[in-house]
């Protein structure tokens, strides 16, 4: 077993709608141990993170990074508002820090995923990148000129690009955000409405290849609005590439082949995340290592 230097690793934690996953991450993004638990009721999330962190702790660990679904002010370590899991009333960084004895750093889960893809994944070396993370909801992040775009605190909420102003109510308070049409939750709804309840997205994609009209219309309801959101992001940021991550990023990338950019203005390379749905955990670990480096410059 390789001997790891004290302070050379961090624990990355990704809070998802269905699972909380954690891993010990080196500064080069290597994963040396994994743990996961089903996401408990919100008040128990802190206990769950502490338990995962204790299971993965060892002398090489210098900090804990946590990727959070929702709007996060990474600079002050506060959760501003949540979605499927709402931790905004909990002093999360402070509580985790006190209970584990390791400094804790928070960021939005989309920022964490893009941090990983930019450091060691599909967006390595790119100057400007837009990422959409497609899971229970849709998150995202933007790197502009090599740096995460934070705005006042919570820039990069890519799931809340409007694709249908007369559409369904969104958790954010508006209607027809791309999260309401193109998330995993939306895909399950489109599938149930078309009589595909219980099928997998892989089955639908293979039926699309066979020209099945019903499968085609489900995938159109899911992927065509995502194309609108991507074209909108390309218009605003003119990125080198768009990365699709989260558990459904690769499936969405395949489904989008039937929905190319609407006009030459919006042509931009769209790629699946190369770290898959591990990007959030790896990025949370790298965020913690970056946080420690900023607090204690060496």
Considering only residues 173 to 192 of the shown chain, the ones binding Zn ion according to CB under 5 A are: 177
31: contact with Zn ion by CB under 5 A: no
Beta carbon nearer to Zn ion, 143 or 161? 161
Beta carbon nearer to Zn ion, 236 or 258? 236
Minimum Å distance from CB 140 to Zn ion? 12
Beta carbon nearer to Zn ion, 138 or 275? 138
Considering only residues 146 to 165 of the shown chain, the ones binding Zn ion according to CB under 5 A are: 160
Listing DSSP states for the chain in one string gives: -PPPPTTSEEEEEEE-SSEEEEEEEETT--EEEEEEEE---GGGHHHHHHHHHHHH--TTEEEEEEEESEEEETTTTEEEEESSS--TTS-HHHHHHHHHSS-EEEEEHHHHHHHHHHHHSTTTT-SSEEEEEESSSEEEEEEETTEE--TTTT---GGG-BS-TTS-B-TTSSB-BHHHHHSHHHHHHHHHHTT-TT--HHHHHHHHHTT-HHHHHHHHHHHHHHHHHHHHHHHHH--SEEEEESTTHHHHHHHGGGS--SSGGG--EEEE-TTGGGHHHHHHHHHHHHHHHHHS--
Binding mask 45-74 for Zn ion (x = CB under 5 A): ------------------------------
Q: Which of 36, 126, 153, 172 binds Zn ion (CB under 5 A)?
A: 172
Minimum Å distance from CB 169 to Zn ion? 9
Q: Which of 170, 221, 250, 252 binds Zn ion (CB under 5 A)?
A: 170
Minimum Å distance from CB 160 to Zn ion? 4
How many binding residues for Zn ion (CB under 5 A)?
Answer: 4
Beta carbon nearer to Zn ion, 111 or 157? 157
**Binding-site ranges for Zn ion (CB under 5 A):** 160, 170, 172, 177
């Amino acid at each position: 077993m390789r001997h790891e230097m004290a302070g050379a690793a961090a624990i990355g934690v990704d809070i998802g709608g269905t699972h909380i996953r954690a891993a010990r991450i080196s500064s080069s993004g290597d994963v040396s141990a994994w743990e996961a638990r089903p996401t408990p009721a919100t008040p128990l999330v802190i206990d769950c993170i502490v338990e995962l962190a204790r299971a993965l702790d060892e002398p090489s660990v210098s900090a804990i990074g946590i990727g959070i679904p929702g709007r996060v002010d990474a600079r002050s370590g506060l959760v501003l508002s949540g979605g499927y899991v709402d931790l905004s009333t909990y002093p999360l960084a402070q509580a985790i820090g006190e209970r584990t004895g390791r400094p804790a750093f928070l960021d939005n889960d989309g920022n964490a995923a893009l941090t990983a893809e930019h450091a060691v994944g599909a967006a390595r070396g790119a100057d400007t990148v837009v990422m959409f993370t497609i899971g229970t909801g849709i998150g995202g992040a933007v790197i502009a000129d090599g740096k995460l775009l934070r705005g006042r605190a919570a820039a990069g909420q890519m799931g809340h690009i409007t694709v249908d102003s007369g559409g369904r109510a969104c958790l954010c308070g508006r209607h027809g955000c791309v999260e309401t049409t193109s998330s995993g939750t939306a895909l399950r709804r489109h599938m149930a409405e078309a009589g595909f309840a219980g099928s997998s997205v892989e089955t639908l994609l293979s039926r699309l290849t066979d020209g099945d009209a019903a499968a085609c219309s489900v995938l159109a309801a899911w992927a065509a609005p995502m194309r609108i959101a991507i074209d909108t992001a390309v218009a605003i940021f003119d990125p080198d590439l768009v990365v699709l991550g989260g558990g459904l990023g690769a499936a969405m990338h395949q489904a989008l082949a039937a929905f190319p950019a609407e006009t030459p203005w919006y042509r931009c390379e769209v790629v699946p995340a190369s770290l898959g749905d591990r990007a959030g955990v790896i990025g949370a670990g790298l965020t913690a290592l970056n946080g420690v480096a900023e607090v204690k410059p060496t």
